[in-house]
Amino acid sequence: PHADDEKDSPPKRLWYIATITHLCQLTPTVTGITIDVANRPMLTSDQGASWQPVNPSKAFAFLPGQWVDFYIPAIKKVGGYSIVSLPSHLPRLELAVKRSRHPPADWVTSKAKVGDSVKVRVGGEFVYSTSSGDEGRQIVDGGACMVPAPDSKGLLFVAGGVGINPLYGMIRQLHYDYAKAQSTTQGPKAILLYSASKADELLFEPELTDMAKEFPNNFHMVYHVTKDDEKGSEEDSSATYRRGRIASGEIGEALQWAASPIGDGKAMIPISSIYICGPTGFAEEMSEACQEHGVPRSAIHFEQWW
Three-state secondary structure readout of the chain: CCHHHHCCCCCCCCEEEEEEEEEEEEECCEEEEEEEEEEEEEEECCCCCCEEECCCCCCCCCCCCCEEEEECCCCCCEEEEEECCCHHHCCEEEEEEECCCCHHHHHHHHCCCCCCEEEEEEECCCCCCCCCCECCEEEECCEEEECCCCCCCEEEEEEEHHHHHHHHHHHHHHHHHHHHHCCCCCCCEEEEEEEECCHHHCCCHHHHHHHHHHCCCCEEEEEEECCCCCCCCCCECCEEEEECCCCHHHHHHHHHHHHCCCCCCCCCCCEEEEEEEECCCHHHHHHHHHHHCCCCHHHEEEEECC
Task: Look at residue 53 in the predicted model and tell me its pLDDT.
Answer: 81
Q: What is the pLDDT of residue 78?
A: 93
The pLDDT averaged over each successive group of 10 residues in the chain (306 residues) is 44 82 97 94 68 80 95 91 96 97 96 96 86 44 45 82 95 89 71 94 94 90 83 55 91 90 66 88 92 91 70
pLDDT digits (tens, 9 = 90+) for 230-288: 554 444 445 688 888 999 999 999 999 888 876 655 666 677 789 999 988 899 999 99
